[in-house]
A and B are shown apart, each in its own frame.
Chain A
Amino acid sequence: MTKNIRKEATIWIGGEAGEGIASAGDMFMRTAARSGLGAFAHNSYQSVIRGGEVVLQIRAGPQPVLSQGGDWDFLIALNQNVLDHHLRSAQPKAAALFNADSVTPPAAPPSAAWRGIPVGELLADLPRNPVMQNTVLLGALMFLLKIPWEVFEGSVRLQFGKRKADLAETNVTAARRGWEFAEKNFPPPDHIALAGDGKRRIVITGNQAAGLGAVAGGCKFYSAYPMTPASSIMHWLAPRASRYGMLMKQAEDELSAINMAIGAGFAGVRAMVGTSGGGFALMTEAIGLAGMIEAPVVAVLSQRGGPSTGLATKTEQGDLFQALGASQGEFPKAVIAALDPVDAYYSTVEALNLAEKYQMPVIVMLDLYLSEQNVVVDPESLNPRIPIDRGEVVREVEGDYLRYRDTPSGVSPRTLPGTPGGMHIAASDEHNEQGVLVSDWYTNPSMRTRMMGKRMRKMEGVLHDTEPRGFIREGPEEAELTIVGWGSTFHVLEEARRALTDGGHPANLIQFRTLWPFPAQKVLPFLRSAKRIVCVENNYGGLLARLIRQETGVEIPFAIRKFDGEPFSIDPLRKALEAVLVKGAPAVQTLVSSKLDLPVVFE
């Protein structure tokens, strides 16, 4: 029955933090990338270093795979709790793999095929290592998925060879025994057949892509204070920075991180910071400093569930207004929300260019979902030769120099310290064209008015530059439903849109990536001509919908929202979108990943 054979599979790997889920996931992803498959991994975890439950959700299939999928076809349960908690999320004909020495399948009627493996017996002659059960179970899974052994073996060697050659050898043996045990004892599934296209690709996370964008975009100074989920940008840059004449500086706090970056930007190097909402809150006063002294700086804001410490290891799109409203007063800035890891790369380079060209702060918004998603991408999708625009810099000064000269574009060519004749003061107080402050002792309304106008005029250029990539449109012109979203929800929305369209309900999608300056005039015709609009956001209040109303006057009547810390997954999202099409549809639908609702555990 070939028509029932699926070309993709959803695999969950669950256990306690510290049980080696990350390394199992890395091996899986590399194997997929090297065997011509697409794959997408989303890690659902808790903020504890060891213990707590972690579930890595992976979907594999024909490239590209751009969201984590839904319920599992295969579960690797590294402990009893994982099996017990996630039984209900099994798809029909699913199989659960576990170590039969330590995990007992429940007596209740099975919702999946039990694939217990006697790990202790299989590894009796090998050095004891509790984490090696992952390798055995992964070996069995690879057999069931019919992945070529050599490709998988290469990934195991790569994973462990970094540490020790004999460790790699032991793990290859363990993987092989899992593989052979499955070959002997488990029938391969007849409803799933993964087939790669033979092309070798790369695996990258959103944060790695942002780090790569920093390096390719000529960033020479990155400063940060550790904060999930932004820290992995720091971790990726730290060992590499010195190779590219770049400094990665861990600062004493976020106040210092951004002020250092502003200093570096003033001195003439491309500078960037990365943080999450709480750290960004501390940075906001300095965002205004950059606006006032017209120093270039890029801030990557990877959102997590708020407010306050909030959901430290969960995703949310709750910081839009924080980014838009960062710092007191009015000044030019840009806010870009990246769509996916590839776009995180481009957004970072774009932000570095905008920051220098317009001498202003630029905020790149990611979220935990995007920062940490691990995806297979075509290496060609990352263009290493994006033009770098350093903006107007005066290298040799002739005559009198005015740092804040009132120009038609609002951009005043700047000098860098070290340039003879270009001396000036960059003041956080209101100042004149020279830079000398006028705030205190010369009450000077006309100068104030002129300088505000000069700075704010820069936004015309910024809008001109950002509008072309302000939002992405997908789907037919004529549609029953227009879906609107921003940033990291792009692919799951597009997948849902296609499913709707294929199901006889033509739908189109408007996905915003530039939130400020808002591309209002460009988007307005599409919003006006839409039959029925729904705005889908990973937050409580419908922040984009509010921004759209503010900037265009268009009220979006329907909303699908999720603020439980988990990203949208395709099946519930599709159902919610279908519900919008029904007469009398609810104005707001709130989705919850209720299947992951776990009780608090007391000792």
Chain B
Amino acid sequence: MSAAAEYRSGVRRTWCPGCGDYGVLNALQNACAALGIERHNLVVVSGIGCSSDLPHFMSAYGVHTLHGRALPVAQGIKMANKDLTVVVTGGDGDGYGIGAGHFLHALRRNLDLTYIVMDNRIYGLTTGQASPTSDRGHKTKSTPWGNPECALNPLALAVVGGATFVGRGFSGEPVHLAEVIRRGMAHKGFSLVDVFSPCVTWNKINTYDWYRPRVVKLETKGHHPADRDAALRQALRDDGKLPIGVLYETDEPTFADEEKSLQGEPLLKSRIELTDEEWNALIAEFS
């Protein structure tokens, strides 16, 4: 058994044949293996959607939460036990639609966790409605005359929102993707890894063949991830090219570095009962 295979749960994977999410699952397992993460110290948290089934296929602790609420649950886990490695997975509807509010605040909160968004520019599990990343003009079941709204730009949003790591991968480039995820997980702070993960059933526009000529590997273009302006320029590119790789990485204090209550041992290890002295001091405050 390969190192990556240890992270397989054995539960039958139910995505459509050819779904981009298989590549993301494999890449995540490879990244975990490369980092040597102990499975019992790994928690994979997801929302709702096709991609959110991912934790079922991982041999680790997992929580399959509500639509849009993976990030709050994951942050609660990390705040309770900062010793755990927490990976959050979900789709574009889950993270950039119904959960967008949490996404923005997770960026600036900078808890040390990794958020992998399997972005297929469509709602798959609900059978093909427009998503926050569907392009303007995209015809779907809910936008029969073409999507009248412009697509959300998650990378630009993440950079200006205070993310300390912003990366992107493509399911069609599994080795590259595993490396971006590995770097995201190794990063101390909140890391976003947005992944082009084509939906072969409901999105007939943004297919593997559509992505392949458009993606550009930043590593080959002399990009410096520490350069915030350069990262933003890449995120805002309008030349028809789609950059993949590590856009931005900076070293900032994490939530646990800053929060007074998280300076010592994980909350999980806090003493439960109050001492008599502590109780008496509390009561004295009221007298």
Contacts and interface: CB of A to CB of B under 8 A. Distances in A.
Interface of A: 33-34, 200-204, 208, 212, 215-216, 218, 220-221, 223, 240-249, 251-253, 255-271, 285-286, 289, 293, 379, 382, 384, 388, 390, 416-429, 435-437, 440-441
Interface residues of B, number: 62
Interface string B69-80: 101111111111
B168 interface: no
A305 to B, nearest CB: 27
A423 B76 CA distance: 18
A384 B274 contact: yes
Contact of A418 (B79, B84, B262): B84
Summarize A's interface: helix, strand, loop or mixed. mixed
Interface in B77-98: 77-81, 83-84
B39 A423 contact: yes
B77 A208 contact: no
Interface in B232-281: 259-265, 267-274, 276, 278-279
Contacts of A425: 9, 55-56, 61-64
Given A246-B261, A424-B61, A271 B287 contact: no
B283 A379 contact: yes
Contacts of B262: 247
Contacts of B43: 267, 417
A417 B77 contact: yes
26 contacts: A202-B283, A216-B279, A218-B273, A221-B80, A243-B278, A244-B270, A255-B68, A255-B69, A256-B101, A260-B75, A262-B73, A262-B76, A263-B80, A267-B84, A267-B268, A268-B80, A268-B268, A269-B80, A269-B268, A270-B272, A285-B66, A417-B77, A418-B41, A418-B268, A423-B39, A441-B14
A40 B11 CA distance: 61
Contact of B59 (A200, A245, A423): A423
A263 B73 contact: yes
Contacts of A34: 287
A417 B81 contact: yes
Contacts of B11: 436
Contact of B267 (A220, A422, A426): A220
A215 B283 CA distance: 12
B224 interface: no
Contact of A203 (B68, B80, B272, B286): B286
Query: A208, A259, A264, A427 — which one has the most chain B CB atoms within 10 A of its CB?
Result: A259
B287 A202 contact: yes
B66 A428 contact: yes
A216 B274 contact: yes
Contacts of A216: 274, 279
Given A262-B76, A418-B40, A421-B40, A384 B65 contact: no
